[in-house]
Structures are given as structure tokens and as C-alpha cells.
Amino acid sequence: MWIAGRAIPLEITDVNVGLLLILGITSMGVYGVALAGWSSNNKYSLLGGLRASAQMVSYEISLGLSLVGVLIMTGSFSLRQIVEAQGGHFWGFIPRWNVFHGQFIGFFVYLMAAYAETNRIPFDLPEAETELVAGYHTEYSAMKFAMFFMAEYANMITVACLATLLFFGGWNGPLFGPRILQDVLPIFWFVAKVFVFLFIYIWVRGTLPRFRYDQLMAFGWKFLLPLAIVNLIATAVAVAW
């Protein structure tokens, strides 16, 4: 964005291990769930908390591996460089987003792993109201419960932002109009894409039933992880060729 002739990038900072930082912070989120379930001194909460944290830890692997495909194609952990590599078009109208540029499977692995990470339907057995009383947040009410849910929604927003940055071109989008509009339009495109992902989250929540826990773990380890590895190998081979 240009103000008074100087380019001001609209980000706090561009760390060159940006993606790893985000992965690190999401992996710290497991503690909240595990400790909440255990400290409630309630067997339902303990079981719900352990299930939730085991689920989150299992799907973190597939999440990370699906992101490595994007990293191989871009060659950098820095989020700004990943988005900049997605500028431009194929054949004039298909945008050069990573999802069209070969990471289609990677995108779906990421989406499913992210739904499991954020404990949302169809993977929300540990916290559903009808299962185990209410799982790890049974004993919490009022503001503490609100904190749990604010954390869950913040997690959803983070996941949606990552999905747009890594797979859907981030803030790239058609720019038109006068200079001042062109400066503001990337913000609009980014927010619109994040909004689409949040819409899909809520849409899926209203549509699908939830997985049983053994189905959930089998899906994560026996289907999603091999698929993520195959995606990684295929991407690596394609880039090396």
C-alpha cells in the first residue's frame, strides 16, 4: 500500500520461517485441550480431553505434510514469498494459485486435516454436546467456556487465512480502478477468500454427521497420512523434473 509516495507493506513482519512459526503455535494449542480435560477432575472430561488431543496430534502430521508440497513448489517458508509466487495467470484467465498449479490433492488433505485440528464437524466428537456429556469443556461455563469457543473460532480463522495464503493466492486478485482503489483491493480479495473458507466451515458443520472416534483415527492415519506422503513425493518428483 502506498501512502504519500512510500510503499508500506500491510503486514506486521515477514519472518523467513513464517509458516513454521504458525505450525509451532498451532501445535501448542493441544495443551489447552488436554489440560482442560484433565484438570476438570471428571472422567468424561478426561476422556474427551485425551481424545481431542490425540486427534489433534495425529492430524498435525498430515497438516504439516500437505503444506510441504506448497513449500517445495515455492522454495521458501516466508508467507509473503509464497503468495507472490502465486501471482499471474495461466492462459490469461486461470489464476496461478497453488490449488490449480498442482496442489489440488494437497489442498484437500490440508482442508480435512485442518477440520480435524480445529475440532470441527465432521471431526468434533471430543466436544460434541451429545458425546461424553460435552467432552473437555463440560465443567466450564460462562466466560471460561466462551474463551474455549473464542479460541476455536480464532483457530478456524487462522486455518482459513492459511488456506487462502498457501493455496488460493492470498491477496492476489484482479486489480482495477483508480490508484487508491487498487491499493485497497488486495485487502478486499484476501478478506473475501477468508470469508469463503469460513462459510465452507459453517456449511460443512450444518451438513455432515460426525465421525466415530475409531473411524476418525483410522481416517487420519490410514488414509490421510499416506495421501499426504504420496502428494509430497509426486510434487517433489514433478519439481525435480
Partner 1 sequence: MISVHLILFLAFGAVCVAGAINLLAQTHPINSALSLIVVMAALAGEYLLLGAEFVAAVQVIVYAGAIMVLFVFVIMLLNAGEEERTKGSRVAVLFGVPGMLIGSVLVAWVVLRHSDAGSVAAGALPGDPTRFGDLLFHDFLLPFEITSVLILIAIMGAVVLASKPQIVQKRKEH
Which residues of the shown chain bind partner 1 in the complex (CB under 8 A)? 15-17, 20-21, 23-25, 27-28, 30-31, 34-35, 38, 46, 49-50, 53-54, 57, 60, 75-77
Q: Which CB atom, from 28 or from 143, has the smaller least distance to partner 1?
A: 28
Nearest residue to 173 (alpha-carbon basis) of 103, 86, 239: 86
30 vs 121, which CB is nearer to partner 1?
30
Long-range pairs, 127-133, Cβ under 8 A, ≥24 = 127/48, 127/52, 128/210, 131/48, 132/44, 132/45, 132/47, 132/48, 132/51, 133/44, 133/45, 133/48
CB neighbour list of residue 163: distance below 8 Å, 6 or more residues apart: 107, 110, 111, 114, 197
Rounded to a whole number of angstroms, the minimum distance from the CB of residue 36 to partner 1 is 11
Q: Shortest Cβ distance from residue 28 to partner 1 (Å)?
A: 6
- Nearest-CA neighbor of 97 among 7, 191, 173, 194? 173
Rank residues 76 and 186 by Cβ distance to partner 1 and give the closer one: 76
Q: Least distance in Å: CB of 82 to partner 1?
A: 13
What span, in angstroms and rounded, lies between the C-alpha atoms of 9 and 84? Answer: 13
d(CA 113, CA 115): 5
State in angstroms the smallest separation of the CB of 61 from partner 1: 10
Q: 54 or 224, CB closer to partner 1? A: 54
Nearer to partner 1, 108 or 140 (CB): 140
Least distance (Å) between residue 182 CB and partner 1: 33
